[in-house]
Structure 1
Amino acid sequence: MTKKREEDYGNYILSNKESILKRKRKIIVMKRTMIILVLLCTILVTLGLTLPEFNLGEVTVSGNEIVSTETVLTSAAIEPDINIFKINTSKIEKILMKNEYIESATVKRLLPKKLSIEIKERKIAFSAQGTDGIYAIDENGRVLGVKETIEMPQVLSIEGIPAEKLIVGEFIKDEDGSRIDGAKDIHKYLSDNGYFEQFPQMRLEVNNFVDYKLYVENAYIKLGSSENMNDKLAKAFSILTTPQFLGMKGYVDVSFKGNPVVFKEE
């Protein structure tokens, strides 16, 4: 039985000699090609890591308005004239994102010798006066940092937040753990409808996050709780933007269901 198998195998080899030789030649060529490619890659990597043409010559920073370019470069701590392939881009991104004002950072190599740092910042939506300066707060209620002044469009000043709730890097929360949702709704409504441009001196008074009062020029709006905030704001501004009440002293009360109450000082 074994002898017959050997004879069959021998016949197979003889009848398929050409195809078997071709297959072996292909395997040899593939092995040689792989060796050449590995050698070329090794040479290219070695040249890339040693040639001065790949030493860092320029770093560009874009997308930053709040955080200065100098702060970004200092935080990145990139060695001058370092080989561009030796730069750990993901490490730099992680370092930059430790800054509370930076939401994301993307670091890219631009061969042969440039590095690009693209910054996406968190937007300052609110400001609150603290004992050591003015606290910058984003639209989600995260305290970003303390600044001497904040002179930026579409930043709504908030009054009434206890100092112990202003902790850099943390969200402002009320007693039940929710964030300043009402203030967020108010800011979005004012921004979407262009009221920051029409009334640049607005400020928001918050009492335990259940009683909101929005000051608009000489008047103020009693908003009450955060429930149905957009509807309340729509009612109030439909009154305050009419010629009869434009620039009035007094208040508009929309804190309850039903028709708003308007009090106009004589």
Structure 2
Amino acid sequence: MKSQWNYSFVKYTVFLLVSLISIFLFMHSSFFYIDQITVQGAERMGSAEVIRLSGLQTGLNIFSVNGQQISQALKVHPMVQDVKVIRHWPRHLEIQVSERQAWALIPCQGGFLCIDQEGVVIDKLNIFSPDQYCIITMDKQPEQVVLGQVIDPEAIAAIRQIWEAIPVEPRVDISDYHYVNESKEVILYTNHGTEILFGDLERLADKVQSLLQIINIEKDYEKQGKSPLSYVDLRFKGQPVVKTLD
């Protein structure tokens, strides 16, 4: 009885070992060699650049691909925000890239730094359409800027919250979002030249409502031929302090 049990155990062990070896050999066979690499979402970078940075090439075993390493390699590029690597069995690999989108421009060194909503520098421009981007200025200008560098996260976060709180249509009436580094307050300038002392993010919704009223007043004044506004102070509770040029 014991001899029969030993024989069955050995038989089962040999079968299991042969099966594991067969599976291992099959996984490392040419059946799983990558013969197609596709890229999605790389509109500005281009597929060729993504594949080059990833280090991938056809002929690699699809099981040997490390998605995390590929993601880290691609995120070195300033345009890349996120990466997903998807295996389509047995031989197709897909790289999905989320590119950073230009959101604002910062005047710097005779040109403009193009940043996304996280403050990451993704480009440098000399010519642009003013209606396309939020324009940001600061008391302390960044120095020695390189692509991929993050510009003053605190300032960018504050301005982004104000920008997001303003409805889409009136945003074009704001010509400049200025950040005062020392006081950590924001000053807005309208297309009509009005200086709006916005302050910090306290009472954000109330301040935005006052801002919208100011923009409408400016337009009415222009139609009526009245003197434009000089500045408006929204920093304190109560009625805004308004001063005209005359």
- TM-score (normalised: structure 2): 0.73
Partners of 2:118 and 2:20 lie apart in 1 by 49
1:76 offset after TM fit, Å?
Answer: 0.8
1:185 offset after TM fit, Å?
Answer: 1.8
Question: Does 2:65 match 1:87?
Answer: yes
Partners of 1:250 and 1:242 lie apart in 2 by 9
Query: Does the CA-based 8 Å contact 1:129-1:135 persist in structure 2?
Result: yes
Query: Does the CA-based 8 Å contact 1:145-1:169 persist in structure 2?
Result: yes
Question: More deviation in 117-126 or 72-81?
Answer: 117-126
Q: SS at 2:78's partner residue? A: coil
Mind listing any 5+ residue stretches in structure 1 that lack a counterpart? Answer: 1-20
1:31 offset after TM fit, Å?
Answer: 6.2
Partners of 1:37 and 1:132 lie apart in 2 by 71
1:236 offset after TM fit, Å?
Answer: 0.9
In structure 2, relative to structure 1, the CA distance for the partners of 1:79 and 1:224 (3 Å cut) is same
In structure 2, relative to structure 1, the CA distance for the partners of 1:229 and 1:77 (3 Å cut) is farther
1:129-148 equivalent positions in 2, closer than 5 A? 129-131=107-109, 133-141=111-119, 143-148=120-125
Query: Does the CA-based 8 Å contact 2:36-2:91 persist in structure 1?
Result: yes
**Percent same amino acid among aligned pairs?**
19
Partners of 1:207 and 1:130 lie apart in 2 by 16
In structure 2, relative to structure 1, the CA distance for the partners of 1:264 and 1:146 (3 Å cut) is same
Partners of 2:113 and 2:218 lie apart in 1 by 36
Aligned residue in 2 for 1:39? 18
Residues 142-188 of structure 1 show CA distances to partners (whole Å, capped at 9, x for unaligned) of x33333366798731212351328454444339xxx54442122222
Query: Which letter does structure 2 place at the counterpart of 1:234?
Result: Q
Question: Does 2:186 match 1:204?
Answer: no
Question: Does 2:185 match 1:185?
Answer: no
1:221 offset after TM fit, Å?
Answer: 4.7
Q: Which of the two has higher C-alpha Rg?
A: 1
Residues 18-58 of structure 1 show CA distances to partners (whole Å, capped at 9, x for unaligned) of xxx69x85x8757644543442232233233232x433222
Question: More deviation in 245-254 or 53-62?
Answer: 245-254
Q: CA RMSD in A?
A: 3.8
- TM-score (normalised: structure 1): 0.68
Q: SS at 2:28's partner residue? A: helix
1:114 offset after TM fit, Å?
Answer: 0.8
In structure 2, relative to structure 1, the CA distance for the partners of 1:136 and 1:56 (3 Å cut) is same
Query: Does the CA-based 8 Å contact 1:135-1:144 persist in structure 2?
Result: yes
Aligned residue in 1 for 2:88? 110
Aligned residue in 1 for 2:210? 235
Query: Which letter does structure 1 place at the counterpart of 2:161?
Result: D
Question: More deviation in 245-254 or 41-50?
Answer: 245-254
Aligned residue in 2 for 1:11? none
1:223 maps to which of 194, 197, 220: 197
Partners of 2:109 and 2:155 lie apart in 1 by 22
Query: Which letter does structure 1 place at the counterpart of 2:191?
Result: E
Residues 113-160 of structure 1 show CA distances to partners (whole Å, capped at 9, x for unaligned) of 11011223444432213227532323343x333333667987312123
Residues 52-94 of structure 1 show CA distances to partners (whole Å, capped at 9, x for unaligned) of x433222222234454333212211212333323333332122
Partners of 1:261 and 1:168 lie apart in 2 by 41
1:241 offset after TM fit, Å?
Answer: 3.9
Question: More deviation in 165-174 or 94-103?
Answer: 165-174
Partners of 1:152 and 1:71 lie apart in 2 by 30
Query: Does the CA-based 8 Å contact 1:235-1:254 persist in structure 2?
Result: no
In structure 2, relative to structure 1, the CA distance for the partners of 1:87 and 1:219 (3 Å cut) is same
In structure 2, relative to structure 1, the CA distance for the partners of 1:165 and 1:36 (3 Å cut) is same
Aligned residue in 2 for 1:13? none
Aligned residue in 2 for 1:260? 240
Mind listing any 5+ residue stretches in structure 2 that lack a counterpart? Answer: none
1:237 offset after TM fit, Å?
Answer: 1.0
Query: Does the CA-based 8 Å contact 1:140-1:179 persist in structure 2?
Result: no
Partners of 1:199 and 1:85 lie apart in 2 by 51
In structure 2, relative to structure 1, the CA distance for the partners of 1:120 and 1:246 (3 Å cut) is farther
Q: SS at 1:75's partner residue? A: helix
